[in-house]
């Protein structure tokens, strides 16, 4: 079977990239088509044939305003020779056309009229739909934000129409959670089957099992600091922190992840918080913490180190509205209970009162109240770890292969 993989962009590490990596391991000879590839930002695909086009020449920081160009680029790729196209997308990669779609539209000389396109769509294009207002609030271009807002308001209606047309092109939809399924139906009027994304459950279990009760050091290089100085900083943070009384949150630090709510909630409830990660909102978050002894920061770290931190932490805070959320599932695998916003994908794995709790309003006050409620409850960390066994990589592989086998002639 001749297979092609497609993704919106490959510039940094995230949940969609983990899905793509698993598919690449299933189909190692399949080329990966994308709009922008930065091997410095993500080094997982060095053995893959990654194909880009003219959008590769644009700087990564312009990604947010290139949506219409990405849609044009993907829709003009000729992938009709492939038996199977799998797009991993939350934006424009779903615009590619399969041989079957072209044949049904009456196109002549289609290379493979039976070739199909399965879109693993983790969410409808967020900046057109469910995250539109938040995007307008902070487009991420500093002093140019007012101009970007004006341009986006003027163009969003035709962009939404184009996005809906592109959403008709996949032959089949897969998605990652009940919430994502609802969003795809709401905005695209398409049905989707749920296959939860792959999570390295066993790695986080092993990391937690190997956890030493002595404090662990982070050995990952931080932003704008030498490795030596970062190791020193990380050691100092850990030495001054009782992880058993500390909450953790980890993610790429962008505005819609709402890490600011975790910072504010821990200040309101006078609880310790360790923020792990990097991103464009980092300086803003540090400034918000105002040097408070309650809130401390560490850069990204290796998986086994993260698992040990999570296994010792009081709990994991997940204030973001996300279609799934791999990081909190990793926390659960390490035996760390999760306090999550009660909308989005968290409903698929956080069982209120069993492996964590859900809070109803995406606000610092609601999260602070949830923390206090959480501390009155008792959780079995062994049972917490077992509660997410169904999300492991082997299950994902099995379900994806079964779905493909049932669709490809």
Report how far residue 75's alpha carbon sits from residue 246's, in angstroms, rounded to the nearest whole number.
Answer: 48
Helix (H) or strand (E) holding 92: none
Spatial strand order in the sheet of 356-359: 295-298, 272-276, 246-250, 315-318, 338-341, 356-359
Helix (H) or strand (E) holding 317: strand 315-318
Report how far residue 190's alpha carbon sits from residue 68's, in angstroms, rounded to the nearest whole number.
Answer: 22
Instruction: Give, in degrees to the nearest 5, the angle at Cα 372 between 369 and 378.
Output: 135
Beta bridge partners of 119: 87, 173
Fold: same for 3-198+394-407 and 201-390:
yes
Pair 131, 344: CB distance under 8 Å: no
Report how far residue 67's alpha carbon sits from residue 89's, in angstroms, rounded to the nearest whole number.
Answer: 13
What fold characterizes domain 3-198+394-407? Rossmann fold (3.40.50)
Helix (H) or strand (E) holding 259: helix 259-269
201-390: CATH, from 3.60.70.12, 3.40.50.1220, 3.40.50.2000, 3.40.50.150: 3.40.50.2000
Choose among 105, 86, 102: nearest CA to 94.
86
Sign, CA dihedral 38-39-43-49, equals positive
Report how far residue 228's alpha carbon sits from residue 220's, in angstroms, rounded to the nearest whole number.
Answer: 10
Report how far residue 52's alpha carbon sits from residue 7's, in angstroms, rounded to the nearest whole number.
Answer: 11
Task: List the domain boundaries for the chain.
Answer: 3-198+394-407, 201-390
Per-residue pLDDT of the chain (409 residues), as tens digits, is 999 999 999 998 888 999 999 999 999 999 999 999 999 989 999 999 999 999 999 988 788 788 899 999 999 999 999 999 999 999 999 999 999 999 999 998 899 999 999 999 999 998 889 888 888 887 777 788 888 888 888 888 999 999 999 999 999 999 999 999 999 999 999 999 999 999 999 999 876 665 544 344 333 333 344 333 444 444 445 556 788 999 999 988 888 899 999 999 999 999 999 999 988 889 999 999 887 889 999 998 888 899 999 999 999 999 999 999 999 999 999 999 999 999 999 999 999 999 999 999 999 999 999 999 999 999 999 999 999 999 999 999 999 999 999 887 6
Report how far residue 401's alpha carbon sits from residue 404's, in angstroms, rounded to the nearest whole number.
Answer: 5
Report how far residue 288's alpha carbon sits from residue 298's, in angstroms, rounded to the nearest whole number.
Answer: 16
User: CB-side exposure of 370: number of CA atoms within 13 Å?
Assistant: 29
Reduced to 3 states (helix: H, G, I; strand: E, B; else coil), residue 3 is strand
In this structure, the dihedral spanned by the alpha carbons of residues 345, 395, 19 and 328, taken in order and rounded to 10 degrees, is 40
Pair 285, 259: CB distance under 8 Å: yes
The 10 Å CB-count burial string (b at 16+, else e) for 3-14 is bbbbbbbbbeee
């Amino acid at each position: 079977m001749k297979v092609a993989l497609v993704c919106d962009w490959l510039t940094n590490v995230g949940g969609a990239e983990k899905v793509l990596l698993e598919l690449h391991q299933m189909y190692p000879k399949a080329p990966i088509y994308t709009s922008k590839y930065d091997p410095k930002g993500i080094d997982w695909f060095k053995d893959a044939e990654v194909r880009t086009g003219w959008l590769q020449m644009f700087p990564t920081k312009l990604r947010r305003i290139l949506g219409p160009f990405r849609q044009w680029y993907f829709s003009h790729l000729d992938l009709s020779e492939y038996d199977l196209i799998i797009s991993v997308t939350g934006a424009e990669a779903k615009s590619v056309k399969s041989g079957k779609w072209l044949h049904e539209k009456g196109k002549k000389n289609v290379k493979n009229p039976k070739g199909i396109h399965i879109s693993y769509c983790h969410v409808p294009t967020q900046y057109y739909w469910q995250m539109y207002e938040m995007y307008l609030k902070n487009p991420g271009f500093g002093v140019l934000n007012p101009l970007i807002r004006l341009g986006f308001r003027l163009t969003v209606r035709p962009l939404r129409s184009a996005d809906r047309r592109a959403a008709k092109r996949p032959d089949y939809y897969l998605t990652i959670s009940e919430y994502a399924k609802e969003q795809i139906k709401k905005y695209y009027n398409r049905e989707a089957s749920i296959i939860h994304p792959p999570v390295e459950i066993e790695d986080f279990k092993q990391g937690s099992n190997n956890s030493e009760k002595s404090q662990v050091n982070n050995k990952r290089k931080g932003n704008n600091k030498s490795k030596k100085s970062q190791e020193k900083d990380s050691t100092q943070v850990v030495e001054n922190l009782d992880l058993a009384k500390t909450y953790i949150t980890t993610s790429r630090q962008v505005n819609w992840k709402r890490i600011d709510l975790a910072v504010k909630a821990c200040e309101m409830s006078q609880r310790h918080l360790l923020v792990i990660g990097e991103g464009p909102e980092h300086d803003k978050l540090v400034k918000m913490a105002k040097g408070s002894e309650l809130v401390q920061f560490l850069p990204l770290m290796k998986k086994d180190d993260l698992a040990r931190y999570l296994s010792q932490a009081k709990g994991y805070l997940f204030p973001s509205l996300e279609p799934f959320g791999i990081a909190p599932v990793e926390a659960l695998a390490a035996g760390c209970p999760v306090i999550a916003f009660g909308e989005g994908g968290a409903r698929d794995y956080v069982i209120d009162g069993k492996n964590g709790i859900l809070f109803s309003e995406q606000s610092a006050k609601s999260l602070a109240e949830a923390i206090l409620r959480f501390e009155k409850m008792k959780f079995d960390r062994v049972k917490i770890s077992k509660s997410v066994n169904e999300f492991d990589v082997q299950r994902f592989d099995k379900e994806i292969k079964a779905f493909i086998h049932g669709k490809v002639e």
